[in-house]
Structure 1
Amino acid sequence: MSITQQYLLDAYRAGQHGEPAPPAPGTHDARVVRQWRDERRFRAVLAGRPVGGRLRRALGRGPRPTR
């Protein structure tokens, strides 16, 4: 059963019982990603590591010259 089919079944059952429908799949994805990122930054601060920018610094250096 796909996630969409499960959602539709849950929504139907909730409607039959007079309960509110569950949130649609993917509704809270952005919030979850944001919380995960904030947690990683918080743990980095506690560990004494730089919070971020490693990828940006690496890309800012540009390609290395070939020998």
Structure 2
Amino acid sequence: MTAIEQYLIDTYRAAQLGAPMPPPPGRDDVAVLRSARTYAQFRAVVDGREARHPWRAALHRLTHPHAAPQCGP
């Protein structure tokens, strides 16, 4: 069963029981990714490393594919 099929079944069941509708699949995916990125930046600061901006780090990886990764001291 796919996520969409399960969502439709849950929506039908909620309508029959008068319960609130479930969130559609994938609605909170971006929020989860953002919180994971924020946590990674937090851990970098706590560990004493530089908390780089994710776009800047991704751009650096694309433009310098053979450069050694920049990790703590």
Q: Count residues with an aligned counterpart.
A: 64
Distance in 1, matches of 2:18 and 2:5, equals: 20
TM-score (norm 2): 0.73
Instruction: Give every structure 1 segment of 4 or more consecutive aligned residues whose post-TM-superposition deviation is greater than 6 Å.
Output: none
For the aligned residues, what is the CA RMSD? 2.2
TM-score normalised over the length of structure 1: 0.79
**Where in structure 2 are there 5+ consecutive unaligned residues?**
68-73
Q: Percent identity?
A: 41
One-letter identity of the residue aligned with 1:42:
F
Distance in structure 1 (CA, Å) of the matches to 2:41 and 2:11: 37
Corresponding residue of 1:43:
43
